[in-house]
Chains A and B, each alone.
Chain A
Amino acid sequence: MDSAIYVIGIGQTPVGEFWDQSLENLSAQAIRQALADADGVSIDAMYVGNLLASAASGQANLGPKIADNAGLHGIEALTVEAGEASGAAALRMAFFALRSGFVRTALVVGVEKYTDMVGSEMEAILAQSGDYDFEGMQGQMPSGQAGLLMRRYLDQYQPKRAALGVLSILAHANGVHNPNAMYRRAISNETYTSAAMVSDPLNIFDSGPYADGAAALILTADAELAEKRGGAKIVVAAGNTAADALALHDRPDALVFSAVTLSVHKALLEANLEMAQMDLFEVWDAFSIYALLSIEACGLAAHGEGWRWLMEHDLSPGGSLPMVTMGGNKARGFPLGAAGVYQAVEATLQLRGQAGKNQVAGAKHALIQALGGPASTVVTHILSKIA
């Protein structure tokens, strides 16, 4: 068997609008927490997940910028970009590095600085994860695209409109107990249904709010280091990245997130686990319609039936398959390329039993999934607690 990859340190900043904080400041806060959590191990390599910095902050080459500021001199340090799934992809690259044996201890940092720019300039930058020639060029924004998909779903499957709000309302309820969440207020069904439109029929509560934040993970392939740290042993049991056609118009059915199907199945196969064994699923709720289509694509419900499944299942921390347990992108906030690392940090808290009031009792296996664009890139990981 291949060597296990242990999660031995986690850190995260609150998610929000930090006008007076830089990319490296946010990163350093998360890195310091993770290093303290990992008992101050030495880091060999750092993989930074980020989407916006080169355009929004005029800053590429984040590796040395963040490593040097955090006092990590001379390490391997570089950026991984995979749209909004950049953070999850950085975790994937760390996994490769550790599994290969070239790196003993790796740091994964997801960081996003959304508030460095406002207005139409920022909107143009956000469109970069889509197909520029066919979408961005025409003014297609991620929210516009999600709105189109949602309209299509509503027309094709005639779901109850309120079904799209189930996860948003749950996310807000869970966000109340996450000290790092951007929104810590529960919302009612009434608030959801009467919310202002972003891109009709997509409303503001169908959309994860873009925000700043940084999260960090420290991973090691060295079982002795994991042993030395003590506490619950959390491993990255499996990981997978799948690519679909970048643009929706190049897919046979825009409402089928086939890369989600592929990615989840391969991850489960690799971990030798069944979907039913997952104790929680951090589904990607950048837009409510994306979460719904992901739930269908990973086989929890048939195509066109996911909305019914959402209404019929208890997805709260005490429910049958807890989702968005710390607020998800909707209530924790959506720091784009950092969000995938937040998911991994939150899953680790769950598996360690440190998730406070949102604790999923006895959680052993956590499925986390990040999407770049409308599931153009899908990164899935399974984190497990081992004996």
Chain B
Amino acid sequence: MTEKQTSLLMRPSRAVGIVGYGAYIPRYRLPAAAIARVWGRSEKAVPIKEKAVPGLDEDTVTMGIEAARNALKRAGIDAALLRAVWTGSESHPYAVKPSSTIIAEAVGAPEHIQAADLEFACKAGTEAMVMAVALVGSSMADYALALGVDTAQGKPGDALEYTAAAGGAAFVIGPADQAAAEILATYSFVTDTPDFWRRAYQHYPEHGQRFTGEPAYFRHVTTAASTLMRESGTKPEDYAYAVFHQPNAKFPRRAARQLGFTDEQIKTGLLSPVIGNTYAGASPVGLTAVLDEALEGDRILMVSYGSGAGSDAIDLRVTARNAERTALAPKTAEYIARRVEIDYATYARYRGKLLRE
């Protein structure tokens, strides 16, 4: 057996990377204190500052289209060259009928594409990325579009209501020699861990409270990250940036600390305090914020987490092309700054929590 076969890392046989990336975050913001007020809880002891809320005419598909258009602008390729559109989300508008076909057609992808939706709680977006890496890396295609987008819903009054937010990111994966950031390797760690779920016909998800911490988020995120680093021979200090799945403000900070990353390394990609948990979009949107700032040669570690449960760890290195690509579409920080504060009543209306019949 060769050394390459025994490694746990997944590496494409053809070098690949992110040719273009794009984010989208809706403009409405609901402060966590406004939620606490409605439920009679402490306005200070809230998990984030505020979360992004989609407007009445926004859903996973519309936000995916926005993010994909930004990614294509940065990639500078004709959408007709795409050979796959894969959308990871837990809030696909249809239970049966793909989001990916709507997004593909809206952005001008050709009819000869692979298209399917993915669901793996908050990890579906990075799973789409790994699939795209495989498709391009095997030379079956030159370009594939991977998205992670969500309009997450938390049950009114549940702890998740503070953080369940909307947003997403899209990535055009292509050959490394055209990439803004090369994808060096990936590693995924997946177990049957029932920490969060939503059964068919249920409107809101349920979760295992404290079970969502140590045995779920922390075990998977830290195992995926440390295994990828061990197998790659890297250490936390080798990375200019790290992006972790961010269900709140506390978990990613603690995971980073456990792994030996500094606050400085994670702050650029840590957006949950100001936009909430965008689920399948969370670590992908964090990565877009990092790419907006990263310089040539910067190494980035990205680790998603999806309940149920698993983590994808992705090792990236920024190329000289990134700086010019960044300028071709709105930065993630611009979407965050484009902020319209709403109150709980408006939020309840926008999110369909008021039944009129």
Give residues in A with beta carbon < 8 Å to B. Answer: 17, 19-20, 115, 118-119, 196-197
Of chain B, the residue at the smallest CB distance from A118 is B209
B208 and A196: CB pair below 8 A? no
CA of A197 to CA of B40, assembled, Å: 12
Tell me which of B19-27, B210-218, B230-238 binds A: B210-218
Give the chain B neighbours of A196 by CB distance below 8 A: 42, 45
A17 and B209: CB pair below 8 A? no
CA of A118 to CA of B215, assembled, Å: 14
Give the chain B neighbours of A17 by CB distance below 8 A: 210, 214
Give the chain B neighbours of A119 by CB distance below 8 A: 209
CA of A20 to CA of B45, assembled, Å: 30
User: In the complex where A196-B42, A196-B45 touch, is A20 in contact with B209 (Cβ < 8 A)?
Assistant: no
A118 and B42: CB pair below 8 A? no
Which B1-54 residues have C-beta < 8 A from chain A? 42, 45
B45 and A118: CB pair below 8 A? no
Of chain B, the residue at the smallest CB distance from A194 is B44
Give the chain B neighbours of A115 by CB distance below 8 A: 210-211
Closest 5 A-B residue pairs measured CB to CB? A118-B209, A19-B215, A196-B45, A118-B208, A196-B42
Mark interface residues in B217-258 (1 if CB within 8 Å of A CB, else 0).
Answer: 000000000000000000000000000000000000000000
Which B184-209 residues have C-beta < 8 A from chain A? 208-209
Residues of B in contact (CB 8 Å), total 8
Q: Would you give the shortest CB distance from A281 to chain B, in whole angstroms?
A: 32
B209 and A19: CB pair below 8 A? no
CA of A115 to CA of B213, assembled, Å: 13
CA of A196 to CA of B215, assembled, Å: 25
CA of A134 to CA of B349, assembled, Å: 40
CA of A15 to CA of B211, assembled, Å: 16
Give the chain B neighbours of A19 by CB distance below 8 A: 211, 214-215
CA of A346 to CA of B214, assembled, Å: 28
Q: Would you give the shortest CB distance from A52 to chain B, in whole angstroms?
A: 16
CA of A17 to CA of B45, assembled, Å: 23
Q: Would you give the shortest CB distance from A209 to chain B, in whole angstroms?
A: 10
Question: 16 A-B contacts, Cβ less than 8 Å apart?
Answer: A17-B210, A17-B214, A19-B211, A19-B214, A19-B215, A20-B215, A115-B210, A115-B211, A118-B208, A118-B209, A118-B210, A118-B211, A119-B209, A196-B42, A196-B45, A197-B42
CA of A21 to CA of B215, assembled, Å: 12
Give the chain B neighbours of A118 by CB distance below 8 A: 208-211
Beyond A20-B215, A118-B211, A119-B209, 13 extra complex contacts between A and B, CB < 8 Å: A17-B210, A17-B214, A19-B211, A19-B214, A19-B215, A115-B210, A115-B211, A118-B208, A118-B209, A118-B210, A196-B42, A196-B45, A197-B42
Of chain B, the residue at the smallest CB distance from A195 is B45
Give the chain A neighbours of B215 by CB distance below 8 A: 19-20
CA of A118 to CA of B208, assembled, Å: 6
Of chain B, the residue at the smallest CB distance from A119 is B209
Give the chain A neighbours of B208 by CB distance below 8 A: 118
Q: Would you give the shortest CB distance from B256 to chain A, in whole angstroms?
A: 20
Q: Would you give the shortest CB distance from B252 to chain A, in whole angstroms?
A: 21
Mark interface residues in B310-321 (1 if CB within 8 Å of A CB, else 0).
Answer: 000000000000
Give the chain B neighbours of A20 by CB distance below 8 A: 215
Q: Would you give the shortest CB distance from B345 to chain A, in whole angstroms?
A: 26
